[in-house]
Amino acid sequence: MTTPDTPQTVYAVEPWCVREQELHLDRLAQSESVFALSNGHIGLRGNLEEGEPHGLPGSYLNSFYELRPLPHAEAGYGYPESGQTAINVTNGKLIRLLVDDEPFDVRYGRLNHHERKLDLRAGTLTRDVEWRSPADDTVRVTSTRLVSLTHRAIAAICYEVEAVEGPVRIVVQSELVANESLPDLGKDPRVAAALGHPLVGEEHVSNGRRVVLVHRTKHSGLRMGAGMSHEIDAPGRLSVEAESFPDVGRVTVATRLEPGQKLRIVKYLAYGWSSQRSRPALHDQVVAALADARLTGWEGLLEQQRAFLDDFWAGADVEVDGDPEVQQAVRFGLFHILQAGVRAERRMIPAKGLTGPGYDGHTFWDTETFVLPVLTYTHASAAADALAWRHMTLPLAVERARQLGLQGAAFPWRTIRGQECSGYWPAGTAAFHINADIADAVARYLDATEDREFEREIGLELLVETARLWRGLGHHDVHGGFRIDGVTGPDEYSAVADNNVYTNLMAQRNLRAAADVAMRNPDEATRLGVSTEEAASWRDAAAAMLIPFDERLGVHPQSENFTNHARWDFAATKPDQYPMLLNFPYFELYRKQVVKQADLVLAMHLRGDAFTDEEKERNFAYYEAINVRDSSLSAQTQAVIAAEVGQLDLAHDYLGETALMDLHDLARNTRDGLHIASLAGAWSALVAGFGGMRAGDGCLAFAPRLPGGISRLSFRLRYRGRRMCVTVSSDRALYELHEGDPLRIRHHGEEHELGEEALDLPVPATPSRPRPVQPAGREPAPRRTDPAGRRMRAGPRGSL
């Protein structure tokens, strides 16, 4: 075992896998997140099978949570009193091994070899270990783990033990364990009491090689079932015993192995939960899922996993020549994004996916703005499910709007089940842009799929209720402009401001989309109470939307009067004072020109039609100088717009930051779970940035250009039943239609029809422009190589 000087040395750089060639005990928690497996319903952190040592134990079920108190220094109207926190559910990963009575523990004896590999094409986590016990017995342990992408309720582990030198007595204990001990839960004793042991045992049954445990939560009233079943193959005599207790189920296997002989155990796991089904129903659901898994068999599960991923990669893969780290990272990101939502099936996609406990397991606006665009063009059904979950929570959003004295729906800033769980008003409730972010995701999905059933049953109502919020939240001023005052945009270092440009432009799109979709579906719109007059009022508000512009500076202020604020003194800010929210009072941040994350720049990405090319260039340079990137969400947007305005090398630098956020643990908090939105940023920076992809009105537009450090970029995507591939070199772009009818595309502003014949088009040269400056010490790490040809890597970022 080694202790690396920097986290960047942990994983080998390979195009289709993430490999840890030595065990780094000081990086266990990070690797547990990186090696997490999920399908959007079940999430298993990459803990060692023997359970110890660990960084953070973690097994999760999407939307399975416990209630906890939300403390407030002072009570206030509209403040939520109860929070929701995803909990660590029954752990089925545990397989303990004893070799001649010595427990297998990597901290004792000697590790001759230890390697783990996340295979992005097979969808498996494999582990290969050779261990010499303190008593000098040597065994080789090989495990392969998967969470099925085709069987929603199933995970499985194939565990093999081989005697290497002499005969050994082997005992394997395969377990289900509920209410595992967790690291420090914080200083609030009420939170510790709620989350320390959240599960109450209702049933435990052991039968042969199968065990089922059923639990319920103490406060949220949810019930879950977990079960395990085993296939065991051993060369000689075998002893198998099963037992169960309220919080523990165990199947114990004992045998004797001669050198070269193996014990092989296939452990099938099944999980289910419900807020309504009875204990017998959950029990039967788990038993049925185990039966389905055994019928499919281990080899069948592997084959189905590979086939599913082969189909996914055929319409989603991105190839990058010239930057091997980014090549690995973009596939790693796509894999985890797929895992986060593929079988969520009308449940949320959390900010950390199901990879760790960060952010209490909540979903935010990150999902609709950064994650769903990737899924929309690679695996659209997962995007539809995420939006269907928002629709299921719409009654709660309508109720919240009424509580706040507003029309329409007010979606929560952070939540698991649909109730608002943010106890901080300026960066939570006041960030109404989440409504427009959801509407934008709906409009994008409808454009990309032409799914009229979804439009009628889900999309229309989401657009209508979000539009109603804007119409009531804003007002026409004495000059006829439509104002939206007192809101917080994406930049959380500015709060409760008037006419945030991002919010107003996205609300404008929301209002127009609602009117258009209501017109296409008049009967459904009438059912929702939409009158001709109401739809006309949405169009009027959109047409009169106030978009501030500073004529003196020639830039758009982030919000009204923002450019009149004093500039932050970046030269006097020390490196250890980032992230700034942990070192300066919000009051001081709110009254200065300092930006936590891309806000106005994000508006230029998502509403590029509202800005001229000259405005984009000036705006980008202005906000580069005051953006400190204290959020992991920022770099991807800066990469996209840097590429659009011709700052290709700078875009490459930002691409590296967003792509490597977790593989290099740049924010030093990957232990709490992966940054799913930042992982999505690698795709966005490459496809929307260097590929210049924009979509709308049934047309895909591209404006590809590559930086000096990337010699070739190829990406695949799906759009309106087509599957296509775009390949870009330094001076040419090749467009190929692999499936579907001819499609209208634009290449650097010129329209073409893409059919059976590929289009080979020239890429215009990039005009030379001065590189913008960033705040002192906050420049992105360069992606260029040093004189020895080694990649210059990023150091600690300190972002959240």
Cα separation of 94 and 772, whole Å? Answer: 52
Query: Which range is least confidently modeled, 90-99, 310-319, 417-426, 620-629?
Result: 417-426
CA dihedral 586→589→590→592, nearest 10 degrees, is: 160
**What does the pLDDT read at residue 580?**
97
3-state secondary structure 36-64: CEECCCEEECCCCCCCCCCCCCCEEECCC
Helix (H) or strand (E) holding 440: helix 433-449
Residue 469 φ/ψ, nearest 5 degrees: -60, -45
Quote the mean pLDDT of the chain. 94
Q: What confidence tier does 273 reach under pLDDT thresholds 50, 70, 90?
A: very high
Which residue, among 781, 672, 636, 638, has the nearest Cα to 333 in the 3D structure? 636
Q: What are the tens digits of pLDDT across the range 744-754?
A: 999 999 999 99
Which residue, among 56, 686, 60, 612, has the nearest Cα to 331 in the 3D structure? 686
pLDDT beyond 60 at 10? yes
Q: How many CB atoms lie within 10 A of CB 631?
A: 25
Cα separation of 230 and 252, whole Å? Answer: 11
pLDDT beyond 50 at 128? yes
Cα separation of 27 and 32, whole Å? Answer: 9
Cα separation of 577 and 777, whole Å? Answer: 11
**What does the pLDDT read at residue 424?**
83
Residue keyed to tokens 């709007």: 401
Q: What confidence tier does 8 reach under pLDDT thresholds 50, 70, 90?
A: low
Cα separation of 597 and 579, whole Å? Answer: 11
CA Rg, the chain, in Å?
27
Mean pLDDT across the stretch 764-780?
A: 95
Q: How many CB atoms lie within 10 A of CB 259?
A: 12
3-class state of residue 80 by DSSP: coil
Mean pLDDT across the stretch 257-284?
A: 97
**What does the pLDDT read at residue 187?**
57
Q: How many CB atoms lie within 10 A of CB 491?
A: 30
For residue 392, what are the β-bridge partners? none
**What does the pLDDT read at residue 4?**
36
3-class state of residue 720 by DSSP: coil
Q: How many CB atoms lie within 10 A of CB 781?
A: 18
Cα separation of 664 and 428, whole Å? Answer: 30
Helix (H) or strand (E) holding 622: helix 613-624
Q: Which residue has the higher pLDDT, 181 or 441?
A: 441
**What does the pLDDT read at residue 800?**
60
Per-residue tokens: 606: 């998502």
Q: What confidence tier does 186 reach under pLDDT thresholds 50, 70, 90?
A: low
Q: What confidence tier does 181 reach under pLDDT thresholds 50, 70, 90?
A: confident
Whether the CB-CB separation of 105 and 52 falls below 8 Å is answered with yes
**What does the pLDDT read at residue 9?**
64
Query: Which range is least confidently modeled, 26-40, 185-199, 442-456, 711-725?
Result: 185-199
Q: Which residue has the higher pLDDT, 767 or 243?
A: 243
Cα separation of 175 and 192, whole Å? Answer: 25
Cα separation of 755 and 242, whole Å? Answer: 61
Whether the CB-CB separation of 642 and 648 falls below 8 Å is answered with yes
Cα separation of 121 and 317, whole Å? Answer: 11
For residue 224, what are the β-bridge partners? 215, 273
Residue keyed to tokens 């990101």: 333
Contacts with 450 (C-beta within 8 Å, 6 or more apart), sequence order:
720, 721
Residue keyed to tokens 């070739």: 712
Q: What confidence tier does 785 reach under pLDDT thresholds 50, 70, 90?
A: low
Percent share of the chain, pLDDT over 70: 95
**What does the pLDDT read at residue 596?**
97
Q: What confidence tier does 185 reach under pLDDT thresholds 50, 70, 90?
A: low
Whether the CB-CB separation of 658 and 678 falls below 8 Å is answered with yes
Percent share of the chain, pLDDT over 90: 91
**What does the pLDDT read at residue 73?**
67
Residue keyed to tokens 């990337």: 710
Per-residue tokens: 59: 């097994």
Q: How many CB atoms lie within 10 A of CB 539?
A: 14
pLDDT beyond 70 at 12? yes
Q: What are the tens digits of pLDDT across the range 324-339?
A: 999 999 999 999 999 9
Per-residue tokens: 494: 């500015």
Q: What are the tens digits of pLDDT across the range 98-108?
A: 999 999 999 99
Whether the CB-CB separation of 53 and 30 falls below 8 Å is answered with no
The pTM for the full model equals 0.96
Mean pLDDT across the stretch 707-721?
A: 98
Q: What are the tens digits of pLDDT across the range 156-178?
A: 999 999 999 999 999 999 999 99
Per-residue tokens: 17: 């896998």
Enumerate domains of the chain plus CATH numbers: 35-72+80-314 (2.70.98.40)
pLDDT beyond 50 at 647? yes
pLDDT beyond 70 at 191? no
pLDDT beyond 80 at 693? yes
C-alpha angle with apex 651: 648 to 652, nearest 5 degrees?
Answer: 90
Known binding residue 596? Answer is: yes
Indicate the residue type of 525.
A
Per-residue tokens: 327: 């090549």
Known binding residue 93? Answer is: no
Whether the CB-CB separation of 244 and 211 falls below 8 Å is answered with yes
**What does the pLDDT read at residue 75?**
73
Kindly report whether the peptide bond that precedes residue 134 is cis, defined as omega within 30 degrees of 0: no
Cα separation of 25 and 53, whole Å? Answer: 8
pLDDT beyond 80 at 97? yes
3-class state of residue 546 by DSSP: coil
Q: What are the tens digits of pLDDT across the range 52-82?
A: 999 999 999 999 999 988 877 677 788 888 8
Cα separation of 144 and 125, whole Å? Answer: 6
Residue keyed to tokens 């992991």: 632
Which residue, among 225, 228, 219, has the nearest Cα to 198 in the 3D structure? 219
Whether the CB-CB separation of 378 and 444 falls below 8 Å is answered with no
Instruction: Show contacts of 233-239: CB within 8 Å, 24+ apart.
Output: 233/263, 233/264, 233/265, 234/263, 234/264, 235/261, 235/262, 236/261
Known binding residue 470? Answer is: no
pLDDT beyond 80 at 123? yes
**What does the pLDDT read at residue 423?**
81
**What does the pLDDT read at residue 788?**
43
Indicate the residue type of 732.
R
**What does the pLDDT read at residue 195?**
74
Q: What are the tens digits of pLDDT across the range 554-571?
A: 999 999 999 999 999 999
Q: Between β-strands 566-567 and 592-593, what pairing exists: parallel, antiparallel or unpaired? A: parallel
Mean pLDDT across the stretch 218-240?
A: 97
Helix (H) or strand (E) holding 723: strand 722-728
Known binding residue 267? Answer is: no
Per-residue tokens: 336: 């985890």
**What does the pLDDT read at residue 794?**
42
Mean pLDDT across the stretch 752-777?
A: 96
Cα separation of 685 and 530, whole Å? Answer: 39
Cα separation of 14 and 33, whole Å? Answer: 19
Residue keyed to tokens 């706040």: 404
pLDDT beyond 70 at 190? no
For residue 140, what are the β-bridge partners? 130, 162
Catalytic residues: 492
Q: How many CB atoms lie within 10 A of CB 122?
A: 18
Whether the CB-CB separation of 342 and 379 falls below 8 Å is answered with yes
**What length is written for the chain?**
800
Q: What are the tens digits of pLDDT across the range 572-629?
A: 999 999 999 999 999 999 999 999 999 999 999 999 999 999 999 999 999 999 999 9
3-class state of residue 795 by DSSP: coil
